[in-house]
C-alpha cells in the first residue's frame, strides 16, 4: 500500500511539471509570433546582374517580412527578392527576416561579386581579306559594372592556331585559307564567355609584274618577264597585243624587228593569269626609229 501511494505521488509530480512546461512554451511561441527554422539565399555568390532571393522555412501563422540593407542603408524592395538595380559590385547586403514585427533571423553579409563582360556582336574586318592585308576584329561589348573591357583574341587559320595578337598579320594566310578568331572579353577581374567570329575566306590576289620594260638591242629582243604571285600560284603569260613575229617562250619575250621604212610604234600587252583565275595585264609602247634599225 505504501509503495502504491509513493508511485501515485511521483506520477502526479511528473504531470504537474509537464503541464507547466507546455504552457510556458506555448506562451513564448505566441508572444514571439513564430520562429524561423531554416534560411537560404540564391544565387550563392550573386553578381551585380543577379537578383537575390531569400528562401526560409518558418513556423508561423503570420507572413514573414523582409528588410533589405545595402551598405548600411535600408532599401525599398518587394518581399524576399532584391533586384540588381539596388546594388553594385563590391556592395554589402543584409536581409532581416521579421515575424510579427520582430526580427527572427539576419542573413548576411552578402558581398556582391563582379559581373563578367559579354560580347554582343563580333566580326572580322575586312570581311574579304587578301594575303598581305592585316585583319582585326570589330566587337560590340557590354559590362554591367561599367568596367573597361579588353578582348583576348586567338587567331586560327584552317583550324590551326597561329597567333594571339590583337591584329593578325596578312603574312599569316593566303588565298583560299579559312580564318576565324576566338575572342574572350576580360574586364580586369573576370573573363566572359568566348565567342567565335565565324570564318572569312581569304581572297585570291592576282599576279604582279616585277620586271622592267623589255628593250631591243641590235633589232633583237630577248627579255625575261618576271612576275610574282603572293599566294604561290602558278602563273601563265600570254600576249594580248604585239607586233608581228613577237612571241613568248616561257617567261621570255622574243622578237626580231623587221626592216623599217619609217619610224613606227607598236603596242605590246602581256597578260599574267594565275591558276585561280586572277589576272593582271601590263602594256607598253615599243617605239622604233628607222635610223636606229639600219
pLDDT of residue 57: 87
pLDDT of residue 25: 26
- What's the average model confidence in pLDDT over 183-201? 97
pLDDT of residue 31: 42
pLDDT of residue 283: 93
**47: Cα within 13 Å, side-chain hemisphere:** 10
Residue with more model confidence, 23 or 164:
164
Is residue 6 very low, low, confident or very high in pLDDT (cuts 50, 70, 90)? very low
pLDDT of residue 58: 80
pLDDT of residue 258: 83
What whole-number distance in Å separates Cα of residue 150 and Cα of residue 44?
Answer: 27
Q: What are phi and psi of 23, to 5 degrees?
A: -70, -40
Examine domains 33-111 and 118-201 and report if their fold is the same.
Answer: yes
16: pLDDT strictly greater than 90? no
**33-111, what's its fold?**
Immunoglobulin-like (2.60.40)
Residues 141-185: pLDDT tens digits?
999 999 999 999 999 999 999 999 999 999 999 999 999 999 999
Residue with more model confidence, 100 or 19:
100
pLDDT of residue 294: 57
Residues 39-74: pLDDT tens digits?
889 999 999 999 999 998 888 788 899 999 999 999
pLDDT of residue 291: 60
2: pLDDT strictly greater than 70? no
pLDDT of residue 215: 85
Q: Please tell me the pTM assigned to this model.
A: 0.71
Q: What are phi and psi of 56, to 5 degrees?
A: -135, 160
Residues 239-290: pLDDT tens digits?
999 999 999 999 999 999 888 778 889 999 999 999 999 999 999 998 887 6
The residue ranges of every structural domain in the chain are: 33-111, 118-201, 208-293
Is residue 292 very low, low, confident or very high in pLDDT (cuts 50, 70, 90)? low
pLDDT of residue 1: 39
- What CATH number should be reported for the domain whose range is 208-293? 2.60.40.10
**118-201, what's its fold?**
Immunoglobulin-like (2.60.40)
What whole-number distance in Å separates Cα of residue 95 and Cα of residue 82?
Answer: 9
Residues 83-113: pLDDT tens digits?
999 999 999 999 999 998 899 999 999 999 9
pLDDT of residue 274: 96
- 3-state SS of the chain is CHHHHHHHHHHHHHHHHHHHHHHHHHHHHHHHCCEEEEEEEECCCCECCCCEEEEEEEECCCCCEEEEEECCEEECCCCCEECHHHCCCCCEEEEEEEECCEEEEEEEEEECECCCCEEEEEEEECCCCECCCCEEEEEEEECCCCCCCEEEEEEEECCEEEECCCCECHHHCCCCCEEEEEEEEECCCCECCCEECCCEECECCCCEECCCCCCCECCEEEEECCEECCCCCCEEEEEEECCCCCEEECCEEEEECCCCCCCEEEEEEEEEEECCCCEEEEEEEEEECHHHHC
pLDDT of residue 293: 56
Is residue 26 very low, low, confident or very high in pLDDT (cuts 50, 70, 90)? very low
- What's the average model confidence in pLDDT over 223-249? 95
Residues 116-131: pLDDT tens digits?
999 999 999 999 999 9
Amino acid at each position: 500500500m505504501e509503495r502504491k501511494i509513493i508511485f501515485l505521488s511521483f506520477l502526479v509530480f511528473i504531470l504537474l511539471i509537464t503541464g507547466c512546461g507546455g504552457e510556458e512554451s506555448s506562451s513564448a511561441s505566441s508572444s514571439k509570433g513564430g520562429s524561423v527554422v531554416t534560411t537560404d539565399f540564391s544565387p550563392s555568390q550573386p553578381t551585380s546582374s543577379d537578383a537575390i532571393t531569400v528562401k526560409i522555412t518558418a513556423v508561423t501563422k503570420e507572413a514573414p517580412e523582409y528588410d533589405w540593407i545595402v551598405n548600411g542603408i535600408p532599401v525599398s524592395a518587394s518581399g524576399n527578392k532584391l533586384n540588381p538595380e539596388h546594388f553594385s559590385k563590391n556592395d554589402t547586403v543584409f536581409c532581416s527576416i521579421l515575424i510579427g514585427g520582430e526580427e527572427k533571423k539576419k542573413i548576411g553579409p552578402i558581398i556582391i561579386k563582379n559581373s563578367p563582360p559579354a560580347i554582343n556582336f563580333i566580326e572580322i574586318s575586312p570581311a574579304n581579306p587578301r594575303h598581305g592585308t592585316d585583319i582585326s576584329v570589330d566587337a560590340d561589348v557590354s559590362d554591367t559594372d561599367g568596367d573597361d573591357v579588353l578582348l583576348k583574341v586567338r587567331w586560327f587559320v584552317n583550324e590551326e592556331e597561329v597567333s594571339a595578337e590583337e591584329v593578325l598579320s596578312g603574312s599569316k594566310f593566303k588565298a583560299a585559307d579559312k580564318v576565324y578568331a576566338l575572342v574572350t572579353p576580360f574586364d580586369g577581374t573576370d573573363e566572359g564567355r568566348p565567342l567565335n567570329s565565324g570564318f572569312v575566306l581569304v581572297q585570291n590576289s592576282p599576279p604582279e609584274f616585277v620586271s622592267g620594260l623589255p628593250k631591243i638591242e641590235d633589232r633583237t629582243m630577248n627579255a625575261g618577264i618576271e612576275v610574282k604571285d603572293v599566294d604561290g600560284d602558278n602563273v601563265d603569260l600570254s600576249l594580248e597585243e604585239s607586233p608581228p613575229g613577237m612571241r613568248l617562250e616561257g617567261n621570255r619575250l622574243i622578237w626580231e624587228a623587221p626592216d623599217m621604212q619609217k619610224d613606227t610604234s607598236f603596242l605590246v600587252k602581256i597578260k599574267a593569269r594565275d591558276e585561280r583565275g586572277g589576272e593582271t595585264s601590263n602594256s607598253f609602247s615599243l617605239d622604233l626609229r628607222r635610223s636606229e634599225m639600219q
